[in-house]
Amino acid sequence: MGMAVADLLASATYAAVRFYIFWETMLQKSLIDFSAVLPKAELHLHIEGSLEPELMVALAWRNKIEIPFKSVEDVRAAYDFSNLQDFLDIYYQGMGVLQAEEDYYDLTMAYLLRAHRDTVRHVEIFFDPQGHTDRGIPFNVVADGILGALDEAERALGISSKLIMSFLRHLSEEAAFDTLKEAEPYLDRIVGVGLDSSEVGHPPSKFERVFRAAREQGLKIVAHAGEEGPPDYVYEALDLLRIDRLDHGNRSLEDEALVARLAEEQMTLTVCPLSNLKLCVVDDMRAHPLKRMLDLGLRATVNSDDPSYFGGYMNANFAAVINALDLDKDDIRTLAKNSFLGSFLNPEDIAKHIATIDAT
C-alpha cells in the first residue's frame, strides 16, 4: 500500500515537472518569437567579423590568395577560441582575403541582408582600417566598398546605418594618428572612432591624445573596455577618452561605484552574448550578466560583435540569452529600445523606432 502511494506521488511529481518544463519552453519560445520580430539596432558589429567561411573561400579564389584551410568546414573547425587573442589571430588572418573594393562591398552587403532578416532596422558598424592599410590596401578602397553597400542597402532594404572607424590598440598611438589623418576625406561619412583589438596591456590612456583630436573634429567616441580588461580601463575610457558609448563593459560589474556611475550617466553598453561565450568571458550562458545589468539600471543592448566567428547574428544572440536567463517581455522590449536610445540617430528617428517597438 505504502509502495502504491509512493509510486503515485512519484508519478505526480514527474508529471508536474514535465509540465513545468513544457510550460517554460513554450514561454521561452514565445519570447524568442517576439524578439525576432521587434525592430532593433545593432551597435557593436565588426564588419570584418561578419566574413562567413563561404565568402572567405570564394574571395581567396577570386583574389588568388592562399589560405591555410582546405574547405569551408576546415575554416569553421578552426573557430574554437579560449580567449580574445586566440580569436584575433584568426580574425586578422581571415581579413587577408579582402583586396578589392567589390570585396568590401560584397562583405558589407552580405551582412546587411542577413541583419535585415533579423529585423535590424539600423546598424552602426565598425571597421578596422589598419587591418587593411597595413597590408597595402588603400584606405579609400576599403571605405568606398563599405559605404557603397551601406548606401545601396538603405535604398533597397530601408536599413539605416552609420560607420565607425576603430583604432587597433595593439598598435601605437602614432599609428592611430596616421589613420585619423588618412580618414580626413571621409569624415563626413564616419560618425565616430572606436578602440578594439587586444585589450589587456593596452589601456585607453595609451590613446588619450588621438581621441581628443577625434573629438575636436566632431567625431563620436566609443571604446571596447571591460571585456577582458579591469574596471580601471572603463574609468579611463570614461574620464580620458570621454566615450559616448561603452563596448562590452562586462567587468564594470566588479565595481559598485562604477556601476552606479554608468547607470547615473545612462551610458549605453553594447553587450555581445555569443561573443562572450565563445571568447570565454563567461563560462556558461546561464552565468551571463545581461539580466543583472538590466536589473542594476544599466542601459544594456544586445549585439553580435563578430557573428561569423561567434556563431550567430542578432536574433541568435537574443535567443541565446532568452534560453539561458530569466528575461521577461519587458526586458526584451527594453533591450530593443536601448539599442535605439544608445544609437547616434537623431532624436526624431529614435522616437519613431521606439513607437514601433511599443506597437509590436
Rounded Cα distance between 101 and 144, Å, is 7
Residues 47-66 as x/- pattern, contact with ligand HPA by CB under 6 A: --x-----------------
User: Bridge partners of 269?
Assistant: 246, 300
Please report how many Cα atoms fall inside a 13 Å half-sphere around the Cα of residue 229, on the Cβ side.
Answer: 27
Nearest distance from C-beta of residue 19 to ligand HPA, angstroms = 41
User: What Cα–Cα distance (Å) separates residue 150 from each residue in 44, 140, 159?
Assistant: 16, 15, 8
Nearer to ligand HPA, 44 or 337 (CB): 44
Q: What part of residues 251-310 is at the interface with Zn ion (CB under 5 A)?
A: 305
- Residue 303: contacted member of Zn ion, ligand HPA, none (CB under 5 to 8 Å, by partner type): none
Residue nearest to ligand HPA (CB): 196
Rounded Cα distance between 96 and 255, Å, is 39
Rounded Cα distance between 318 and 335, Å, is 9
Rounded Cα distance between 253 and 261, Å, is 11
Residue identified by cell 573557430 is 79
When binding is defined by CB under 6 A, the residue of 161, 197, 270, 334 that contacts ligand HPA is: 197
Radius of gyration of the chain (CA): 22
Q: What part of residues 83-142 is at the interface with ligand HPA (CB under 6 A)?
A: 84, 91
Q: What are phi and psi of 109, to 5 degrees?
A: -65, -40
When binding is defined by CB under 6 A, the residue of 118, 227, 236, 331 that contacts ligand HPA is: 227
Q: What part of residues 256-275 is at the interface with ligand HPA (CB under 6 A)?
A: 275
Sheet containing 299-302, strands listed edge to edge, beginning at the edge strand earlier in sequence: 40-46, 120-127, 160-168, 192-196, 220-225, 245-248, 268-271, 299-302
Query: Is 182 a known active-site residue?
Result: no
Nearer to ligand HPA, 167 or 235 (CB): 167
Nearer to ligand HPA, 103 or 306 (CB): 306
- Residue 84: contacted member of Zn ion, ligand HPA, none (CB under 5 to 8 Å, by partner type): ligand HPA
Q: Site for Zn ion (CB under 5 A): how many residues?
A: 1
Residues 3-42 as x/- pattern, contact with ligand HPA by CB under 6 A: ----------------------------------------
DSSP string, 128-182: -THHHHTTT--HHHHHHHHHHHHHHHHHHH--EEEEEEEEETTS-HHHHHHHHHH
- Residue 197: contacted member of ligand HPA, Zn ion, none (CB under 5 to 8 Å, by partner type): ligand HPA
When binding is defined by CB under 6 A, the residue of 101, 118, 124, 196 that contacts ligand HPA is: 196
Rounded Cα distance between 360 and 358, Å, is 6
Residues 299-318 as x/- pattern, contact with ligand HPA by CB under 6 A: ------xx------------
- Residue 124: contacted member of Zn ion, ligand HPA, none (CB under 5 to 8 Å, by partner type): none
Nearest distance from C-beta of residue 52 to ligand HPA, angstroms = 15
- Sequence-ordered list of residues with C-beta below 8 angstroms from that of 29, at least 6 positions apart, any chain: none
Nearer to ligand HPA, 193 or 332 (CB): 193
Rounded Cα distance between 204 and 241, Å, is 7
Task: Name the catalytic one among 199, 227, 228, 236.
Answer: 227
Residue nearest to Zn ion (CB): 305
> What 3-state DSSP class applies to 285?
helix
Nearest distance from C-beta of residue 342 to ligand HPA, angstroms = 17
Report the catalytic residues: 227
Q: Which residues bind Zn ion (CB under 5 A)?
A: 305
Q: Which residues bind ligand HPA (CB under 6 A)?
A: 46, 49, 84, 91, 196-197, 224, 227, 275, 305-306
